Chain A
Amino acid sequence: METLWSPTKTGDRGGKWFLSVLALIAVAAPILNQAVPASSPAHLSAYGITLIGKYLCYGMLALAVDLIWGYCGILSLGHTAFFSLGGYAIGMYLMRQIGTRGVYGDPVLPDFMVFLNWKSLPWFWNGFNHFPFALLMMVVAPGLLALVFGWFAFRSRVTGVYFSIITQALTYALMLAFFRNDMGFGGNNGFTDFKDILGFDLHSDLTRVVLLITTVATLAATYLACRTIVESRAGRVLHAIRDAESRTRFLGYPVESFKVYVFVFSAVIAGIAGALYVPQIGIINPGEFAPINSIEVVIWVAVGGRGTLYGAIAGAVVVNYAKTYLTGAFPEVWLYAVGALFVLVTLFLPRGIIGLVQTRTKR
């Protein structure tokens, strides 16, 4: 396997570029939205703000996948499961905030429970009226699932393709489960119609700008955290596991522990991404668990460039921007374009867009 990662060369020029772009977004987007009048062509609409926020959340999800796939060789085809769990955690808080403003006006029960004729909140909804608790759960729920799942899977030495397929089964099973009304998560429709977060109106431009800045800041922080991990001694072990798992084990490293640790960390990042995604998009439903979404995430990473971290984020943004543009302008073409993109990238650009850029600059 060719070397995808070498700590000395990437140095982190790309990373610095990436952080500068993030800083630029954090400064420019609020100004273009708040200070520039709506009549001006330079004005950034609320829709634009949300769109950028959405891309960055996807970027964070791609970052999570790249951390385990690019650096540890674990291909998860079920990462949207963690993303959705984080989203559902914050969604539950947002549902509790609606209160009497729902269609049925019940002060405690969300609309769908009134509709299902439930009399009281299920036990697992307790505490979600507190924001800190929801924040805790958006980390704990995906983290715990990843811990249990990863611990069993890695300890049994389920690797490679087998691992990919059972992660797919995991997210598929969760999707089926969340589709059931009896689960108490709104069934088919999921959660929507959110009103406010921490007392701020979710539909106001200012709240959206703040959410975007939060997303930018969190993305920068998670990026730096991942960067720190992969450049630490532990990161070298992960790298070794990716390239020669058995040899690393024979050298005495607890391979399973390293894998579980990085898998849980990645799941938590995915969960946070989901939690940032839901208030901005305004809806979460079981469709988010669909295995095909997880595969798309892997595609973003591959397109951007595996094993570079910022490349994955760039891939997510580029592919999703293309998706937004093409599905609007040429809906027929989108699937042809994306299908061809995957084929061409895997055949001709094994290191993605970033790899292409790096070869160009070296010459």
Chain B
Amino acid sequence: MRRFSMGGQWPLVLLLAVASVTRIYAQSPKDAAFLSVLGELREASYSDKASIAERLSQTGHSSVRVVLTALLEDRLYYRNSDQKVFVVKTADADPLALIDPLSLKAAGSAPADGMTKIGTNNSLRHTLKMTVAHFSLGSADAAVRLDAVHEMSLSLDEETVALLRKRLAVETNSGVRKEISIALALSTLDGSDSRARLQAVATLSDSVSQDVRNRLALLLDKSPDGTFVESDAKVRQAAAAAVESIDRWRTFYSDIQTLFFGLSLGSVLVLIAIGLAITFGVMGVINMAHGELMMLGAYTTYVVQTAMPEHIGISILVAIPAAFAVSGLMGVLMERTIIRYLYGRPLETLLATFGVSLLLQQLVRSIFTALNRSVITPDWMSGELKLNDALSITYNRLYIVIFTLIVFSAIVAVFKRTRLGLDIRAVSQNRAMAKAMGIRTEWVDAMTFGLGAGIAGVAGVALSQLTNVGPDLGQSYIIDSFMVVVFGGVGNLWGSLIGGMSMGVTNKLLEPWIGAVLAKIFVLVALILFIQVRPRGLFPPRGRAAEDK
């Protein structure tokens, strides 16, 4: 039980000290204390450096972790000219990219020969590792603690185990507790007590981590001399069961992940099709320029971002109404100048709108050149939501799904709850009667087309986050969007939603088996066959009006 007494009382004391001071953020006295301690590092011997690092961590400054990690990785330098200490981005580069140790912001660069590295040796590095781990475990941020535990579980020795045990006693966050108990169980597997090992295997079987699974699988291996690595048959049995259970859960989670990928692809399909479901489905206009209206939306996003480079985070939110307005106005313009002369002749509208699509492409090419424009993904959309070791969901996919559902509900609301929606439905069901009742059908036509075009623009904002923004952006999506509308049943918004989602999920479910391209071909062929069985889609239009569409 030696390892329990290792380290004595000081970690706990320090922990409390750190916890109490981390609440007070970067104030200048603390900055000053931090800097003066940091300055001592320059001249100190290796053994002194260890205690300096210790004192540094006691200052509780928010930069401690970064600075000590940098020291650990040989990335802490001081400038020969003014003896100022800097963190560098990558060691041994020339020139070195400097980072200010206080603010952690970039601080220019300096030639490598004007800088001196603050060196470390093996035993110092060992101590430092402990100090960093210790400091991180005391962090007020549960995510930092979780990372620290994870880091520590990769190289478990007696000291880290002792540290983790102490932390487990005071840890309140359940996620961190779980991670700690897994790390401790992993270390117990190396012990000599077979009952403790059995207990550890039981703890580990709750995990879904690939590392844990591999560690458990090792217990089932045989040594070169033919005996089992794990001597106790009971433990082996438990380990085998645990591996199986972990595998089962991992498969389950990966299925959920595939399903989610499918839903997010389906959301994209719904989003690009929903505007078309209005123009094509409700009005019977084959709008080949639909893709280009989406492209206009994507370019609007680019322009909005360029106009407000300081606020990338909210630029996307500004771009949504802007794109709706730009594409919507373009749609109204198209309807007023071209499409209104071609009602009732769907194949002619196809040709005319195809002409419009070429015009819009070349227009964009003339203004923005043929090169792709890069739209920056805001910080709040990057990264991923890690649900557990086997399942993480990227934020941009998650937001796409949510965004699609919002847009869809908004459209349904417009159709069901507003005067415009009522007019649109009336005109699409019986134009002559609607006109007789005093509805300005021409105005309704323009508004309907504008609405569909505007939604295409909104879809373009989403696409700008997923793909390159170039003049050809629209072309690559036009077939997909038509397929969704036809599959769902022309004139039926819900059909488009269900059609798009099921196409997306089918595609992603097939992908692991036959690859992305074949999956896409399969979906297309399946759709062609489906149309043979149900020529009017999933939810066909009914009634007398159905024949004309």
Contacts and interface: CB of A to CB of B under 8 A. Distances in A.
A165 B482 contact: yes
A180 interface: yes
A298 B355 CA distance: 12
A170 interface: yes
Interface string B456-499: 00000000000000000001000100110010000000000000
Given A176-B517, A347-B341, A342 B352 contact: yes
Contacts of A158: 531-532, 535
A2 to B, nearest CB: 11
Contact of B532 (A153, A179, A335, A346): A153
B362 interface: yes
A277 B153 CA distance: 67
Contact of A336 (B351, B352, B362, B483): B362
A144 B383 CA distance: 50
Interface in A114-161: 149, 152-153, 155-161
B342 to A, nearest CB: 7
Interface string B400-437: 00000000000000000000000000000000000000
A340 interface: yes
B267 interface: no
Interface stretch (B8-16, B104-112, B439-447, B520-528): B520-528
A168 B533 contact: no
B524 A172 contact: yes
Given A162-B486, A164-B350, A342-B351, A176 B521 contact: yes
Given A165-B482, A343-B356, A173 B346 contact: no
B465 to A, nearest CB: 24
Interface in A274-308: 291-292, 295, 298-299, 302
Given A165-B486, A339-B357, A170 B351 contact: no
Interface in B356-380: 356-359, 361-362, 365-366
Contact of A343 (B355, B475, B517): B355
A160 B346 contact: yes
Contacts of B347: 75, 160-161, 164
Contacts of B338: 343, 347
A165 B483 contact: yes
B525 A302 contact: no
Nearest to A336: B362
Contacts of A234: none
A52 interface: no
A166 interface: yes
Nearest to A347: B341
B359 A335 contact: yes
B288 A346 contact: no
B348 interface: yes
Contact of B355 (A160, A176, A346): A346
Contacts of A334: 362
Contacts of A339: 355-359, 362
Nearest to B366: A332
A304 to B, nearest CB: 13
Interface string B230-261: 00000000000000000000000000000000
Interface string A341-358: 111011100100000000
A229 interface: no
Contacts of A221: none
Nearest to A298: B351
A36 interface: no
A339 B531 CA distance: 31
B355 A340 contact: yes
Contact of B479 (A157, A169, A177, A343): A169
Contacts of B228: none
Given A157-B535, A162-B486, A343-B355, A295 B528 contact: no
A341 B355 contact: yes
Nearest to B363: A336
A169 B524 contact: yes
B286 interface: yes
A311 B247 CA distance: 67
B46 interface: no
Nearest to A171: B479
Given A75-B347, A173-B521, A343-B352, A335 B358 contact: yes
A161 B346 contact: yes
Nearest to B529: A152
Contacts of B286: 161, 164
Contacts of A350: 348
B352 A346 contact: yes
Contacts of A340: 355, 359
A104 B217 CA distance: 49
B478 to A, nearest CB: 8
Interface in B76-126: none
B354 interface: yes
Nearest to A73: B347
A299 B356 CA distance: 13
A338 interface: yes
B191 to A, nearest CB: 52
Contacts of A155: 532
A166 B486 contact: yes
B144 to A, nearest CB: 47
B531 A338 contact: no
B201 to A, nearest CB: 45
Nearest to B360: A339
A162 B529 CA distance: 12
A302 B532 CA distance: 28
A298 B357 CA distance: 15
26 contacts: A75-B347, A152-B529, A158-B531, A158-B535, A160-B347, A162-B486, A164-B350, A165-B483, A166-B527, A168-B479, A168-B482, A170-B524, A180-B517, A291-B479, A299-B355, A332-B366, A334-B362, A335-B359, A339-B356, A339-B358, A339-B362, A340-B355, A342-B352, A342-B355, A343-B338, A343-B359
